[in-house]
């Protein structure tokens, strides 16, 4: 142990005697390790961001969105003709479609055996009044499945009862922002609030959602804290049922009038949850065919599978991370080769020192340990500096490029271990080269 410690101290003296050369030798390791730290931080941040997005959109969900009609006859009519519109484009008429309705929800629930939950949504922008305060907000018609699919929990009160849903009762559940605006310093449960022309009784308050508005907008998710939720039947009965057709609505088929077409969709969105992620794509295809048939061949809806889109984003991110890993690996390889070259040059410069040590009783193992310790020490110093630079680079990227980064303990340990391994691997050959020097020739060397 004393011999090992003595050789280690000699290695430290050798590195200390050539500080600039040692630092330049370690540059490759410094940049390589810092690149590894930053790469792993970006990868971990992106993965965490995608997991958070998964939580927001829910797992195994299929989202059906209604497409509001356009007053331009070109695209919609061309799409209708391709999907079996039977020449109605030539007549300048839009084929009748009932739009996205509650009947579609019941049909999907009946036909699709993989459905584990389904949530209709109807969004109505309106004015909210209570006391002397007026705010613009959204009234959202939903049922209780909406809250479970979106991971929304109540902080007070209760969800809708079956009686509320069946009778379209004038009750509501409010978000935290609505509570702050209209019920500051008081319990909102049982109080009345006016939404448009309807007075609603508050029966529940949602917990605040732990997500920033930027993430929500990127995913196309509304801020639940600023919404008022009513039973979907109440939204259709008490506010507006866009699915009801009257004489004026029939004029929407006449594209020659040039006036904006009314949105005829009863629902704005339907979220379908399936019981197995492997059935997502097949279920989405079946839903699209079912709705197309029910809508008289009109594709006035959009079917999305957010989870598959996020998985594709994850694959793209993994490819990007792999490229970064290759670049970082090349940097570390170049750093290791640099260490080996400098150590070989150091052996040639210190032949006389090797001869003196051998003549004083040092064996080949002592020489190997001395030069090996020097290589490992340079690598470790480079690794420590590289870790500091990598952490700083990760925080800089997060601050200025607005890319989420997470520096984990295992990435630091991995980088430090790689640095030590490189010093060991690329230091063995120069160390053995030094140990194999002939002591007599070494003493005669100038």
Which of 126-135's residues contact partners 24+ apart within 8 Å by CB, and which partners? 126/195, 126/196, 126/239, 127/195, 127/196, 128/178, 128/181, 128/182, 128/193, 128/194, 128/195, 128/228, 129/193, 129/194, 130/182, 130/183, 130/192, 130/193, 130/194, 131/182, 133/181, 133/182, 135/181, 135/182
Q: What angle do CA 430, 435, 436 make, to 5 degrees?
A: 100
Q: What whole-number percentage of the chain has pLDDT above 90? A: 18
Tens of pLDDT along 362-409? 777 777 777 778 778 888 888 888 889 989 988 888 888 777 788 888
Q: Report pLDDT for 286.
A: 92
Q: Is the pLDDT of residue 58 over 60?
A: yes
Residues 253-291 pLDDT 10s? 544 455 556 778 889 999 898 888 788 888 989 999 999
- Report the pLDDT averaged over residues 91-95: 56
* 300 and 381 both lie in a single domain: no
Looking at residue 53, what is its pLDDT? 63
What average pLDDT does the segment 172-200 reach? 91
Residues 302 and 315 in one domain: no
Residue 418 backbone class (left: φ over 0; alpha: ψ -120 to 50; beta: rest): alpha
Helix 306-349 × helix 364-400 angle, to 10°: 140
339 and 422 fall within a common domain? yes
For the chain, give the number of residues.
446
**Exposure pattern of 225-256 as b/e (b: 16+ CB <10 Å)?**
bbbbbbbbbbbbbbbeebbeeeeeeeebbebe
Q: Print the domain residue range for 20.
A: 2-53+311-444
Eight-state DSSP code of residue 49 = H
| Per-residue CA distances from 106 to 61, 88, 139, 267, 353 (Å) | 17, 29, 23, 13, 89
pLDDT band at 229 (very low <50, low <70, confident <90, very high): very high
Q: Give 354's contacts (C-beta < 8 A, 6+ positions apart).
A: 347, 367, 434, 437, 439, 442
Q: In terms of domains, do 107 and 189 share one?
A: yes
Q: pLDDT band at residue 309, thresholds of 50, 70 and 90?
A: low
- pLDDT of 445 reads 58
- pLDDT bin (cut points 50, 70, 90) of residue 84 is very low
Do residue 243 and residue 261 come from a single domain?
yes
pLDDT confidence of residue 198: 92
83 and 222 assigned to the same domain:
yes
At 313 the pLDDT is 65
Range list of β-strands (E), 40-88: 61-66
Separation of alpha carbons 350 and 443, rounded Å: 11
Strands 192-195, 301-304: pairing kind: unpaired
User: Which of 306, 333, 364 finishes a domain?
Assistant: 306
Q: Which of 251, 273, 306 is the last residue of a domain?
A: 306
Are 319 and 410 within one domain?
Answer: yes
Sign of CA dihedral 310, 315, 318, 323: negative
**Residue 120 shares a structural domain with residue 170:** yes
Q: What is the mean pLDDT of residues 234-244?
A: 84
Q: Which residue has the higher pLDDT, 345 or 413?
A: 413
Dihedrals phi, psi of 120, to nearest 5 degrees: -80, 150
pLDDT at residue 378, rounded to an integer:
82
Q: 179 with 232, same domain? A: yes
Tokens, residue 108: 């999907």
- Of the pLDDT bands very low, low, confident and very high (cuts 50, 70, 90), residue 28 is confident
Query: Which residue among 279, 306, 333 closes a domain?
Result: 306
pLDDT tens readout for residues 66-76:
987 664 444 44
Number of domains in the chain: 2
When mean pLDDT is compared over 81-85, 178-182, 328-332, 425-429, the highest value belongs to 178-182
Span of 40-49, 77-86, 175-184, 393-402 with lowest mean pLDDT: 77-86
| pLDDT tens, position by position, 123-135 | 999 999 998 889 8
Helix (H, G, I), strand (E, B) or coil at 405: coil
Do 198 and 277 fall into the same domain? yes
Q: What is the model's pLDDT at position 379?
A: 82
Q: How confident is the model at residue 232 (pLDDT cuts 50, 70, 90)?
A: very high
Return the pLDDT at 81.
Answer: 39
Question: Do residues 49 and 65 share a domain?
Answer: no
pLDDT value for 362:
72
Mean pLDDT over each residue of the chain, to the nearest integer: 78
Whether 8 and 151 share a structural domain:
no
């Amino acid at each position: 142990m004393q011999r090992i410690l003595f050789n280690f101290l000699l290695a430290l003296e050798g590195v200390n005697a050539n500080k600039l050369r040692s630092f330049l030798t370690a540059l490759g390791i410094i940049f390589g390790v810092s690149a590894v730290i930053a790469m792993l931080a970006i990868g971990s941040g992106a993965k965490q961001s995608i997991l958070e997005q998964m939580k927001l959109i829910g797992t195994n969900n299929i989202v059906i969105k209604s497409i509001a009609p356009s007053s331009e006859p070109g695209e919609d009519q061309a799409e209708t003709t391709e999907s079996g519109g039977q020449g109605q484009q030539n007549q300048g008429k839009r084929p009748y479609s009932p739009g996205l309705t509650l009947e579609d929800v019941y049909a999907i629930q009946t036909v699709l055996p993989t459905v584990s939950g389904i949530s209709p949504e109807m969004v109505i922008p309106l004015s909210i009044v209570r006391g002397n305060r007026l705010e613009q907000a959204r009234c959202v018609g939903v049922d209780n499945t909406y809250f479970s699919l979106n991971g929304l929990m109540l902080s007070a009160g209760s969800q809708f009862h079956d009686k509320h849903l069946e009778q379209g009762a004038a009750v509501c559940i409010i978000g935290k922002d609505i509570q702050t605006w209209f019920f500051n310093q008081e319990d909102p449960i049982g109080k009345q609030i006016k939404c448009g022309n309807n007075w609603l009784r508050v029966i529940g308050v949602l917990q605040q959602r732990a997500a920033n508005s930027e993430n929500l907008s990127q995913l196309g998710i509304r801020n639940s804290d600023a919404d008022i939720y009513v039973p979907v039947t109440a939204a259709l009965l008490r506010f507006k049922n866009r699915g009801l057709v009257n004489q004026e609505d029939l004029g929407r088929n006449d594209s020659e009038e040039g006036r904006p077409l009314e949105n005829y969709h009863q629902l704005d969105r339907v979220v379908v949850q399936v019981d197995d992620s492997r059935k997502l794509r097949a279920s989405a295809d079946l839903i699209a065919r079912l709705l197309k048939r029910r809508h008289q061949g009109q594709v006035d809806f959009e079917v999305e599978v957010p989870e598959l889109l996020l998985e594709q984003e994850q694959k793209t991110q993994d490819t990007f991370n792999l490229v970064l890993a290759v670049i970082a690996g090349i940097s570390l390889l170049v750093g290791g080769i640099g260490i080996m070259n400098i150590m070989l040059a150091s052996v040639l410069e210190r032949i006389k020192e090797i001869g003196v040590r051998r003549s004083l009783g040092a064996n080949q193992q002592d020489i190997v340990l001395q030069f090996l310790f020097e290589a490992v020490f340079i690598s470790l110093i480079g690794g420590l500096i590289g870790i500091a630079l990598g952490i700083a680079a990760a925080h800089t990227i997060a601050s200025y490029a607005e890319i989420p980064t997470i520096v984990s303990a295992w990435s630091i340990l991995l980088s430090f271990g790689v640095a030590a391994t490189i010093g060991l691997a690329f230091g063995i050959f120069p160390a053995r080269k030094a140990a194999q020097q002939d002591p007599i020739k070494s003493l005669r060397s100038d």
